[in-house]
Amino acid sequence: MRSTLSHLECSRPNCDERLAPAPARNLCPLCHSPLLARYDLDLARETLTLDALRTRTRSMWRYAEVLPDAARATRNEGEKPRGRTPPVTLGEGMTPLIHARRLGEQLGLERLYIKDEGLNPTGSFKARGLSAAVTMAKALGAPAIALPTAGNAGGAAAAYAATAGIGCVIAMPTDTPAANVIESRAFGADVHMIDGLISDCGRYIAEHAADQGWFEVSTLKEPYRIEGKKTMGYELWEEFDGALPDAIVYPTGGGVGLIGMWKAFEELGAMGLVGSARPRMISAQAEGCAPIVRAFGQGAAESEFFDNAETVAAGLRVPKALGDFLILDGIYASGGEAIAASDTELMTACGDMARLEGIFAAPEGGAGLVAVEKLAAQGRIGRDETIVLFNTGSGYKYADAWQAALAT
């Protein structure tokens, strides 16, 4: 099995830019929008089957045909395929899909599932995206990666950079959860604490990257983090034995996982591995930072900057996502929703998840459960529908938030 990576193309439908995967690239040079990796899906379908997957490695790299590979990216046109470049991996992916029977009974839902991404290396779903991004950054010659983060992406980036033997520079808001700061420094990253939001951190990285020789792996500013995140969609397809759920509830900050899963479902459809039906994509945000919810309510194609963003769910504190138009495209195209939760609501939901299902969830996962609760109460989720809620990280990374919630 080997990658069928073909080219990169601009994510804007009115931009025709198409590029070779190498050298290392950031945004579209014409319109400065995110670039998306494309594959030879006719070739991929020859070997990517449910039967074939039964004997493959138990990590996200089992989907090699539709994941990036530097050996494919750097070969010359007409050159014979070379062996796969080993990925930079810590065993990410293949997280548990838990049938949440007790929570489902409380909500009147028979087929509620929780995909627990908190059991990935470094304790969150960010491991998937950074495994793919660091794999390609190292292979394409980047001496160091750099990114802004409000939490879990920093630890994941630092861990994979350490494994790869390349440098890592991180900019974090000063109120980032302590666990994220500690783990990033423990992995050897150069951590800069910024007085502001993740948008201010992003500005810091962008202003210094060129002069310092850093390769930016900020959310959607390079094309491969989304490729790692999309494997969540491939795993659901595999776990449901070639089917897809009726709805996916996804905590949304930068939204790369939602965008990535929608991309995965489109790829599966193009390969003839699923039919035309797609899950309804439901975005969950915090009331203190809900640009996608606000844009969805207005029927807008893009979001506006969310002023004075504040929430205990650090991963949701993204005032303006670079890929907001892609997030909203997926929600609209799927007949989905965008729901906000207060900090009190989402931490209460985290308590319910722990008490009823034994899952110690991140606050972001609690926001997703609040969305499920609200939609179920309004009859917008059917009792017999298959619903997958993503818990995107471990509650152990949010000790302060949990301590405050348990004290009330």
Q: Kindly state the tokens that stand for 2.
A: 């080997």
Find the mean pLDDT for residues 83-99.
92
Q: Is pLDDT larger for residue 82 or for residue 323?
A: 323
Asked if pLDDT for residue 304 goes beyond 60, the answer is yes
pLDDT-derived band of residue 150, with 50, 70 and 90 as boundaries? confident
Contact 285, 292 (CB under 8 A): yes
Nearest to 221 by CA among 146, 330, 309, 112: 146
CA distances from 242 to 49, 220, 279 (A): 9, 28, 13
The predicted model scores a pTM of 0.95
In the 8-state DSSP scheme, what is residue 187? T
Please give the pLDDT value at position 151: 84
pLDDT value at 79 more than 70: no
* Positive/negative CA dihedral, 76, 78, 79, 82: positive
Q: Are 197 and 309 in contact (CB under 8 A)?
A: yes
Dihedrals φ, ψ of 247, to 5°?
A: -150, 150
Per-residue confidence band for 2, with pLDDT thresholds at 50, 70 and 90: confident
The model's pLDDT over 97-149, given as tens digits with 9 standing for 90+, comes to 999 999 999 999 999 999 999 999 999 999 999 999 999 999 999 999 999 99
Question: Count of CB atoms within 10 A of residue 187's CB?
Answer: 21
> What CA–CA distance (Å, rounded) separates 375 from 283?
12
Alpha-carbon span 307 to 284, nearest angstrom: 18
Mean pLDDT over residues 327-334, rounded? 98
Q: What is 97-122+225-407's CATH number?
A: 3.40.50.1100
78 falls in which pLDDT band (50, 70, 90)? low
Domain ranges, ordered by start, for the chain = 97-122+225-407
Q: Which residues of 347-359 are buried (b: 16+ CB within 10 A; e: fewer)?
A: bbbbebbbeebeb
Q: How confident is the model at residue 377 (pLDDT cuts 50, 70, 90)?
A: very high
Q: pLDDT by residue (tens digit) across 33-48?
A: 999 999 999 999 999 9
C-alpha to C-alpha distance for 252 and 315, rounded to whole angstroms: 8
pLDDT at 408: 79
Cβ–Cβ < 8 Å for 329, 335: no
Query: Locate tokens 């969150």: which residue?
Result: 124
CA distances from 348 to 197, 311, 325, 343, 408 (A): 25, 14, 31, 8, 10
